[in-house]
Amino acid sequence: MVNIIIISHDQLKLSQQCVTSLELTTKYPHKIIWIDNGSKDGTPKWVQQQGYIHHRYNKNMGFGLAVHKGMELAGEGHMGHVLWLNNDTILTPNWLENMVNLLESDKSIGAVGPLTNYAATRQKIVNHYEVNDKNYTKWVKGVKGGSEPTLLLSGFCLLLKDRAIQKVGLPDYINFPMSGEDFDYCFRLRENKYKLLIDKSTFIYHYGHVTANSQKTYSASHEWAKGATTLNRKWKKK
């Protein structure tokens, strides 16, 4: 079982597109846990209609707190693996089966992430302008398979092993409320001797920073810089 935690702040059409792709491509046993960060575009009503386990904040509390709450609802690793998933993604055939198979292939693997068109890690294989939601299938067909060890994985689609969660704990939303919680969790996994792998058999299309770029109350680049500064201060001596 995989607990898929989807985070939203408005962007209802993207959420619906994400869920449609999930329903069409996902055969592996899973349940959806939806955390909404103060959407005002009809998203909460739509989520409730779907019958998902859900929690709603009255305002945008940030990605860190949202995934923290989602992982609490997922039993903190005691009810199966956990996958963080941005709502601005389009999923592809066998994506979850591929990622779970890789995650479970070795007890030392703590997390797995897919290839994509938009990420600040080695998962990115094409430039964002070269791919869009109309032609991403050609990139899926071009994926060759295999895996690659890495130091960091992006949180846009991040599969975490249940036993690793039980050992490492929940995300640090206090120090990383808006940005950096995914990289911090990767450092924590590695500190606990877990490996991180890129699943090179899976490509997930990612629009990238759609919610952050739509915000008027904070600057996405400023929040990213704050997260990077905190990461450096916390981990540079370790």
Give the per-residue pLDDT at 136.
80
Assign 179 a pLDDT band (cuts: 50, 70, 90): confident
Amino acid in the structure at residue 62: G
In angstroms, rounded to a whole number, what is the distance separating the alpha carbons of residues 147 and 111? 12
pLDDT digits (tens, 9 = 90+) for 115-171: 999 999 999 998 878 887 778 888 888 788 999 999 999 999 999 999 999 999 999
pTM of the model: 0.93
Where do the domains of the chain lie? 2-235
In angstroms, rounded to a whole number, what is the distance separating the alpha carbons of residues 93 and 97? 9
pLDDT digits (tens, 9 = 90+) for 205-215: 999 866 555 55
The neighbouring-strand residues paired with 33 are: 5, 53
The neighbouring-strand residues paired with 109 are: 195
**Where does residue 95 fall: left (phi above 0), alpha (psi -120 to 50 degrees), or beta otherwise?**
alpha
Residue 30 has pLDDT above 80, yes or no: yes
pLDDT digits (tens, 9 = 90+) for 49-91: 999 999 999 999 999 999 999 999 999 989 999 999 999 999 9
In angstroms, rounded to a whole number, what is the distance separating the alpha carbons of residues 178 and 136? 28
Mean pLDDT of all residues in 14-18: 96
| Domain 2-235 falls under CATH 3.30.70.2740 | no
Give the per-residue pLDDT at 138.
80
Give the per-residue pLDDT at 71.
97
Mean pLDDT of all residues in 167-196: 95
